[in-house]
Amino acid sequence: MTPAVIGRMSAGTLPGLAGKVVFNTGAARGIGHAMSHAFVRHGARLMLLDVDQTALGKARDALQAQFPAAEIEMCVASIADDRAVERSVAATIERFGRIDILLNNAGISMNKPSLDVTPEEWRQTIDIDLSGVFYCSQAAARRMVGQGGGVILSTASMFGLVSAARRAAYCASKAAVVSLCKTLAVEWAEHNIRVNAICPGYIRTALVDDLIARGALDEGVIERRTPLGRLGTPEEVAEMALFLASDAAAYITGHAMVADGGFTANGF
Ligand SMILES: NC(=O)c1ccc[n+]([C@@H]2O[C@H](COP(=O)([O-])OP(=O)(O)OC[C@H]3O[C@@H](n4cnc5c(N)ncnc54)[C@H](O)[C@@H]3O)[C@@H](O)[C@H]2O)c1
């Protein structure tokens, strides 16, 4: 993260985050890693999960080097494996005694003409981008119920709210995540669990860099189509997560909030 970016980010001022136990999926890179950085900066304790052990270890080590006093653990699992999710959540309870905030970040893209999508590709996208979010939410919420509440934030996408060609499985998954968040928000409000969806537009991460490199996305077209004229940064999404997880957002639940530079507001 560059000094210019860090200078724009909040530094430990949002209420109700210090000491909280955060379970963060997809934490090895991208938006997930930026969220780890943001929450640890606000005094949270972290359990990082990713399927990529090497990258996750590097991400954890980098955070620990920057915040030597922080409590940061990691577990390697696929969120598409419900039993591995349960084991990871149980390990978090064993280590920290609770889970206050679940960040459902892990996800994959699927950008391909719908006529060519194979059943395997369809299932893989739904398994990770939708079912994985449910498995993590359910496993964490079972603990949150017993501890008197919690917060669940799921990184859906602006493509959970609007659609685009060649993204059938991705858009379907992300729209379902938005709907899932609303259902869980209504159902778990009585347990003091707030559930919200985060809907980023195009954010500069490995996921988007890969699509640009493969010619599936045109960076110039995205910039011209986006009213703010640029892609977003992972840190800008992390700032929204901090707010939604904090007590500053205590009355916000069942909401899908965009950070997209105005992309979805633009009719052209
Ligand atoms: N980058 C964007 O423009 C953008 C826009 C909207 C939404 N999103 C969403 O934000 C989330 C993070 O995206 P990103 O851009 O940081 O992606 P990324 O590819 O940079 O990082 C995603 C991380 O998730 C991990 N992961 C993938 N499958 C997993 C699985 N089955 N179990 C555990 N971990 C797994 C990957 O190893 C990786 O570390 C995704 O859900 C994505 O759909 C991204």
Give the model's pLDDT for residue 13. 82
Pairing of strands 150-155, 101-104: parallel
Check if 202 is active-site: no
pLDDT, residue 3, reads 47
User: Is the per-residue pLDDT at 2 higher than 80?
Assistant: no
For 5-52, what is each residue's pLDDT tens digit?
Answer: 555 676 668 999 999 999 999 999 999 999 999 999 999 999 999 999
pLDDT of residue 268: 81
Q: Euclidean distance between the first and final Cα of the chain, in Å?
A: 33
Report pLDDT for 58. 98
Q: List pLDDT tens digits, range 86-127.
A: 999 999 999 999 999 999 999 999 999 999 999 999 999 999
Site to probe by mutation for ligand 1, drawn from 31, 48, 263 as the one with most ligand atoms within 8 Å of Cβ, is 31
User: 91-128: string of b/e by CB count within 10 Å (b at 16+)?
Assistant: bbbeebeebbbbbbbbbbbbbbeeeebeeeebeebbbb
The CA 190 to ligand 1 mean position distance, Å, reads: 31
Nearest CA owner, ligand 1 atom 40: 107
Atom of ligand 1 nearest to the CA of 27: 39
Mean pLDDT of 76-92: 98
Domains of the chain: 15-205+233-256 (3.40.50.720)
Question: What was the pLDDT predicted at 10?
Answer: 67
Query: Is the pLDDT at 85 greater than 50, yes or no?
Result: yes
pLDDT at residue 4, rounded to an integer: 54
How close is the Cα of 149 to the center of ligand 1, in Å? 26
Query: Out of 75-79, 167-171, 213-217, which region has the weakest mean confidence (pLDDT)?
Result: 213-217
Show the ligand 1 pocket: residues with CB < 6 angstroms.
25-26, 28-32, 50-52, 55, 78-80, 105-108, 128, 132, 155, 157, 200, 202-203, 205-208
Give the integer Cα–Cα distance in Å for 31 and 51: 15
User: How confident is the model over 53-65, as pLDDT tens digits?
Assistant: 999 999 999 999 9
Question: Which tens digit of pLDDT belongs to each residue from 158-211?
Answer: 999 999 999 999 999 999 999 999 999 999 999 999 999 999 999 999 999 999
Q: What is the pLDDT of residues 234-265, one digit of tens each?
A: 999 999 999 999 999 999 999 999 999 999 99
Half-sphere exposure of 151 (CA within 13 A, CB side): 27
How large is the C-alpha radius of gyration of the chain?
Answer: 17
Q: Which among 54, 74, 153, 205 is the best mutation to test ligand 1's pocket, defined by most ligand atoms within 8 Å of the CB?
A: 205
Strands (E), the chain: 21-25, 45-50, 72-76, 101-104, 150-155, 193-200, 256-259
How confident is the model at residue 223, as a pLDDT?
Answer: 97
Name the residue with higher pLDDT: 2 or 143: 143
